[in-house]
Amino acid sequence: MIRCFVALLAPLLLAGCVAEPVTAQPTLDGQPPIVIAHRGASGERPEHTLESYALAIEQGADFIEPDLVLTKDGVLVARHENEISETTDVADRAEFADRKATKIIDGRAVTGWFTEDFTLAEIKTLRAKERLPRLRDTAFDGRFEVPTFEEILTLLARVNRARRVPVGVYPETKHPSYFASIGLPHAAPMLELLDRFGYRRRTAPVFIQSFEVGNLMDLRAKSDLPLIQLVDATGGPADRPDASYAAMTSPAGLQMIAAYADGIGPNKAMIIPRGALGRLGEPTSLVRDAHAAGLKVHPWTFRRENYFLPLGNKGGVNPAGHGDLVGEIEAFLKTGIDGLFSDNVREAVAARAGR
């Protein structure tokens, strides 16, 4: 809120504005918000690689987030999308030139190379690369493999043996209805691996997330593990063409989500939108409404490059330059969010600690 003082001799002019202090709101359970390493330490290493996850853990992440897609032989691997030309060197591999295809994914035509057309053995010959080369360092391109979900859980098991508080895992099922339609559903292999590695109860350090609804409902029928309904500022779930995320995040919609999920993962603009000039505006009621429905709130995605930051937090005009990410996150923490996804774990941990 802003309290403005009007000059006595010029009643139509604002002589000055003083920002009123904002009272920080509590999280749903009163615990500190969690820091979720978005695709690992993806601001510093190629995303969804064991090296990216390991660096995120070293920097203090509470959870690491693998996006899960499937190979032709039904193995879960970590990639942002099933189309992998943006994140691997597949387009430069002559032996796979004939695999290029155009497919309809979630109602949209996508051209490229798709994990479901490769065996795991073939995927393992590829090497990861930076997805945002104009904004981030590409020095690590070509050095790291595409990891399986099993390899990620093995990494966590090894790390957690020496820890009092375990680092958790926060997998996202990518395009689950599409994969189910081609005979490669996520649920069975994902739940089998989670069970094998000891993620069996609601208290386990795991959240399973999805932008779709049906697969979360299916998972709820099969498992008691915590679930997160992802929502965006526009559109709606691919498997519910008549639904919109706007309706789903109304107070009534949130009550419906609470029947099958434990929280929501909203686009951060749904919590604090930006004004016409790109500055952070006033918070919406979303966090308060979600908490009233008993849902945790984990917004995405916080990144330190100027390109992604609000105007008041930019550190210059160079889109690849780094600004005040800590300051942006601090504004969101005051709304009572229960966690946040960030490409830059070090800054997120610093913001939570109050710099």
Which pair of tokens denotes residue 175? Answer: 């395009």
Integer angstrom CA distances of residue 228 from 32, 83, 295: 18, 24, 9
Q: Provide the annotated active-site residues.
A: 38, 80
Contact 263, 298 (CB under 8 A): yes
Amino acid at 98: D
DSSP classification of residue 138: -
What whole-number distance in Å separates Cα of residue 50 and Cα of residue 56? 10
First to last CA, the chain: 24
Q: What angle do CA 318, 324, 328 make, to 5 degrees?
A: 120
Nearest to 329 by CA among 348, 315, 311: 348
| CA 82, chain centre distance (Å) | 16
Query: Which helix or strand (DSSP H or E) is residue 181 part of?
Result: helix 176-181
